[in-house]
Amino acid sequence: MTTTTTSTEPPADEVVTTSLRWSTLGRVGPALVVITAAVIAVFSVPALAPYRPWKPGDPVPFWNLLGRPFEGDESRDAEQRHEEAAEFAREALAEETPVPVARPKPVIVEPGDGDGPPPYVRQPGDDKPAKQPLELFTGHELDPFFAQLARSDASIDGAITHVVHWGDSAIGLDGITGAIRQRMQARFGDSGHGFHLMAPPNTSYRHDAVKFSHNDGWEQCFIIQNCKKDGRYGLGGATFWSYGGAESVFAPHPERSAGAVTGFDVWYLAQPRGGNLWMRVDKEDPVVVDTESEQVEDRWHHFELEDGPHELRVRANPGGQTRVYGVTLERDVPGVTWDGLALVGAFTRRLGNYDEQHLREQLEHRQADLAVFMFGGNDMIRESLTQDQYEGEYREILQLVKRAKPDIGCLVMAPLDHGDRQGVRIVSKPIVPMLVDAQRAAAKAEGCAFFDTYLAMGGEGSAGRWYRQEPRLIGGDLGHATMKGHVVIGELFYRALLSAYVDYREREG
């Protein structure tokens, strides 16, 4: 009898394979758990945001690890600049929103009292170092401006320091100018928001500190279009007109500003066959101004008010053509106004479309102490542009403004870094440092100060790093700062200006 025995044990090779599988899983399983927990942690804990393997807008996952090698070789100095820029950004964004300091009661100074500047009283924050200092080629380019700022600083009655700040879309949302204004007014006194156009010339014109509304009745001409051959574009670079029915309403925003004004100025044009301009403050009786005149000339209508929240309504009555420029909101207290005058889409040379006499009258009425220029972003698309050509164009607009108001100070702000995507790389546009060098040369030749925004951001490669930084400081177009980026740029510029002012006070004192 033959007995067949059937074994229930698996073959030896299958036993070995199964053992290896369980052994491998025993080692890999905990590792997978750890990796999963780490991924959950970096997406859950805000402080770990820089280590997230993917963020919206990144070209590939793990860009924070893979991207660095694609940026190209950098010198130790360049890496240090980028690290310092990132640290400054974190510091600037961590600070609380500046609020105005308690200013002393305005001091009445009679003509002839004292020969020198008022005594300098150091304020908190005056010793904060500038990451990127202003470039003063003779050391004295801004002395007249600083002398007026010293009067505001000493709270001398009537000492309002006026700054006009032209630029392209870099300042279009009043982001950079708003951040500078906020810091300057917190330090030197809040004299009001300043100039606001009668209507937005484009969707990028917005001033959050002004509660503003308008209807669609205004026709307009923007300076970049060169559509008014008389060159009368008003202080803000745009003119508006209506044959009746157009209306705009202005008030200081109750939450995003001091919420008070002591006066409105309405800027308009008197001309043959001019119409009637209807204006009313709050619920007071309206004022109607006839803009008809034999001669074409700029005029202003001023409303003097008690310091407080007020609303101004401006309307073009039916009749002739009523042509206007904008409204200033101001407070009659020592301090600073900082006019954000965005010429969105403008090449630098477009500022030359102003009629010189008209510009002279506008700047004189504004009593402008300093003109700041921030152009260049749109000029980057001009492929055939040379450094000498651009320097010449910039010098022409500086000369125009200085001829219009010879005693005005001037300061050139370099453009932001702009990036290009090259596959998974983000690199700076090669034209950026060329424009910066041309602007620096123009500023030096025309007696202006210079602020190197590009180098303050970190120089070469900054656009890519600002884009990947958390929070993101530059937008997806790699050329316009985000609102957080506006805050950082405002702080960079403010510290540079304040440091130069402190140097002036210590030197003069």
CATH number, position 186: 3.40.50.1110
Q: Which residues lie across from 274 on neighbouring strands? A: 321
Predicted local confidence at residue 72, as pLDDT: 43
Q: How far apart are CA 100 and CA 259, in angstroms?
A: 13
Last residue of a domain, one of 332, 351, 382: 332
Segment (H or E) for 179 = helix 175-188
Check whether residue 328 and residue 342 sit in a common domain: no
**AA letter at 224:** I
Check whether residue 434 and residue 464 sit in a common domain: yes
Residue 251 vs residue 36, higher pLDDT = 251
Q: Are 328 and 265 contacting, i.e. CB atoms less than 8 angstroms apart?
A: yes
Check whether residue 178 and residue 224 sit in a common domain: no
Residue 75 within a domain: no
List the domain range (segments joined by +) for residue 313: 192-332
Check whether residue 270 and residue 398 sit in a common domain: no
Check whether residue 180 and residue 102 sit in a common domain: yes
Check whether residue 301 and residue 183 sit in a common domain: no
Helix or strand or coil: residue 421?
strand
Last residue of a domain, one of 278, 306, 332: 332
Closest to 132 (Cα-Cα) out of 432, 509, 466, 414: 414
Residue 441 within a domain: yes
Last residue of a domain, one of 332, 352, 381: 332
Which value, to the nearest 10 degrees, does the dihedral of the CA atoms of residues 478, 435, 493, 258 take?
A: -70
Cis peptide before 104 (omega within 30 of 0): no
Counted domains in the chain: 2
Indicate the pLDDT class of residue 466, thresholds 50, 70 and 90.
Answer: very high
- Reply yes or no on whether the pLDDT at 97 is more than 80: no
Check whether residue 407 and residue 494 sit in a common domain: yes
Check whether residue 326 and residue 314 sit in a common domain: yes
Check whether residue 237 and residue 275 sit in a common domain: yes
Handedness of CA 421, 422, 426, 431 (dihedral sign): negative
Q: What is the mean pLDDT of residues 320-341?
A: 97
Check whether residue 279 and residue 390 sit in a common domain: no
Q: What is the mean pLDDT of residues 257-283?
A: 97
Q: Which residue has the tokens 């120089």?
A: 459
Residue 56 within a domain: no
Check whether residue 138 and residue 218 sit in a common domain: no
The proportion of the chain whose per-residue pLDDT surpasses 70, expressed as a percent, equals 83
Handedness of CA 420, 425, 431, 433 (dihedral sign): positive
Check whether residue 339 and residue 478 sit in a common domain: yes
**AA letter at 313:** R
Predicted local confidence at residue 21, as pLDDT: 54
Which value, to the nearest 10 degrees, does the dihedral of the CA atoms of residues 335, 200, 345, 183 take?
A: 20
Q: How far apart are CA 372 and CA 412, in angstroms?
A: 6
